Amino acid sequence: VDPDYLRNLAAARKAGLYVGSYHFYTTDQTAQSQFDNITTHLDLKPGDLPLVVDIEILSKNTLPDLAAELKTFLGLIEKKYGIKPIVYSGENFANEHLKGFADHPLWLAEYTNAQQPKLPLDWQRWTFWQHTQDGRVAGVNGAVDLDRFNGGEEQLKELLVD
């Protein structure tokens, strides 16, 4: 848990930014234990982005049915908050382990100078694209991730929590 999570979230909301929360999914813990953990801390409000669930590596002791566990986790989040979580992953990992998840918005990590990312097999569209981890932003020391949204202001608003 980020010790600055609630402070940063409040400051970003106060500044009028769209905000979101993020869960790094570990493949060696049950869906229920991860759900219990994230919902203890998650502060999801109307106007926020849906929870982003990052799944991009296998843990040393990955549970035998990764897909079923992840589906359970995503379903628990959707049931509790009434919104479909965003799946964050890379093309190769998604092709190998995330078949059957294309009904979730995709935040694709693919570092390239190409005009468009290469989509995982199941997805027809990306929602967000993290295209570099070497970006520069005024006022921030060091490299930052840079992302693109696949749409305009109206599409972004449609994605937000009611």
56 is an active site residue: yes
Could you write out the DSSP letters of every residue in the chain?
--TTHHHHHHHHHHTT-----EEE--TTS-HHHHHHHHHHH----TTSPPPEEE--S--TT--TTHHHHHHHHHHHHHHHHSSPPEEEEEHHHHHHH-TT-TTS-EEEE---SSSSPPPPTT-S--SEEEEEEEE--TT--S-EEEEEESS-HHHHHHHS--
Residues 56, 110, 153, 154: which is the catalytic one?
Answer: 56
Active site residues: 56
